[in-house]
Amino acid sequence: MDLSAIPIVDQHAHNLLRPEHARTFAYPSAFTEGYAAEVVTHHVRETIFFRRSMREIAALLGCEPTLESILETRERLGFEEVARRCFAAAGFQAILLDDGFMPDQVMPTAWHNRFAPVYRLLRVEFVAERRIAEAPTWSAFEEAFRADLEALDPEVVGYKTIIAYRTGLAVEPPDSEAAQAAFRALRQQAERGERLRLAHKPLNDWVVWRTLEAAARRGLPIQFHTGFGDPDLDLRWANPLHLRPLLEHPDFRRVPFVLLHASYPYTREAGYLAAVYPHVYVDLGLAIPFLSRAGMAFAVRAFLELTPISKILFSTDAHLIPELFYLGARWGRRILGDVLEATVADGDLTAAEAEAAAEAILCRNAQTLYALPDR
């Protein structure tokens, strides 16, 4: 199936790196979640994702499929032109940006509007870290953070949490005393002028719990990073099955939970949750385009085994370089086309149902979930 006519709602991605930072950034590191020097300088080049991507980026930029030639051509074309080509080839109807990733080194969110209408996801750990750095007391912090969750800019369409990276998905009900003790420890760091990193379980759990309460009041979705990611996370605690107490909690029954990254390798687990809980959604980002072709097809197939089509969302999880937006969109359409074609051959769906499924997954489901304007 050729899905090139379907515009994509990229329901989770990140801002591009500013050109002055891009110059000092090791290009291969955009192709791996690892950050150890040997991974970036050596091992990443041995991955299928890197090798396949070099060929595809070279074809888009019109150069030789080698890293050297690509870097040279990027330099010659310039940042804006490379970005323009990637986004034009990707074909987005809308992009939802989590702009809390490397916030001091990326382009402003509004700048990305030149490629497609951009909406924001509020990364709550980033908001909390900023507030802890300024708030002298717990009550000042609590008040400021609650206000941040409520007084949202009109372009914010959902919340995003990276608790999987920090302290894991087994979120417990808030323990105010333990959270305050963690707050005091972070305040001491702030007073010493150290950079804050919110990775104290009682306080991280408190932050997510307050966010879920705000999401319930406002009827907004919350995106959870789940499954694989950089080695900051303990993959055992990134299994979405740990979310069960939150999913079962009566106060959060109306909050849409969006499980990012196909929860890879816990993809079937995520698909199961979306099949049995009315308020759980799954997303294909990062699994597409980071995996091999067979791996990407696995993720789409694993969801379609059980998950309602209306619960499957698409994103690129692109970050830092525009090529990842292009690769994500390209492979999203291709893999979905391949897998849906097979479901028709199997007699699982009719051709018309497969067409409708492609449009739902690439665009309509996210449009409905985030109440985005129609095209």
Residues in contact with Zn ion by CB under 5 A are 317
For Zn ion, the closer of residues 85 and 319 by Cβ is: 319
DSSP codes of every residue in 184-227: HHHHHHHHTTPPP----HHHHHHHHHHHHHHHHHHT--EEE--S
Q: Name which of 340 and 366 has its Cβ closer to Zn ion.
A: 366
Q: How far is the CB of 10 from Zn ion (least distance, A)?
A: 11
Q: Between residues 33 and 353, which has the closer beta carbon with respect to Zn ion?
A: 33
Q: State the DSSP H helix or E strand holding residue 76, giving kind and residue range, or none if neither.
A: helix 67-77
- Distance of alpha carbon 45 from alpha carbon 354, whole angstroms: 36
The sign of the torsion formed by the CA atoms of 325, 326, 327, 332 equals positive
When the beta carbons of 96 and 357 are compared against Zn ion, the nearer one is: 96
Which helix H or strand E contains 286, and what residues bound it?
strand 285-286
CB of 365 to Zn ion, least distance (A): 18
What whole-number distance in Å separates Cα of residue 190 and Cα of residue 132? 8
Question: Shortest Cβ contact with Zn ion: which residue?
Answer: 317
Handedness of CA 268, 271, 277, 280 (dihedral sign): positive
Nearer to Zn ion, 320 or 336 (CB): 320
Residue 176 host element (H or E): helix 176-191
Q: Is residue 358 a contact partner of residue 3, using CB atoms and an 8 Å limit?
A: yes
CA distances from 96 to 4, 117, 157, 244, 316 (A): 20, 9, 8, 26, 10
Spell out the alpha helix ranges (H) of 219-279: 244-248, 267-276
Q: Which is nearer to Zn ion, 39 or 164 (CB)?
A: 164
Nearer to Zn ion by Cβ, of 11 and 47: the residue is: 11
Class of residue 104 by CB neighbours under 10 A (exposed 0-12, middle 13-18, buried 19+): exposed
Specify the residue, 125 or 317, whose C-beta has the smaller distance to Zn ion.
317
| DSSP per position, 13-26 | E-PBBPHHHHTTS-
Amino acid at 299: A
The H helix count followed by the E strand count for the chain is 17, 9
The 10 Å Cβ neighbour count of residue 212 is 22
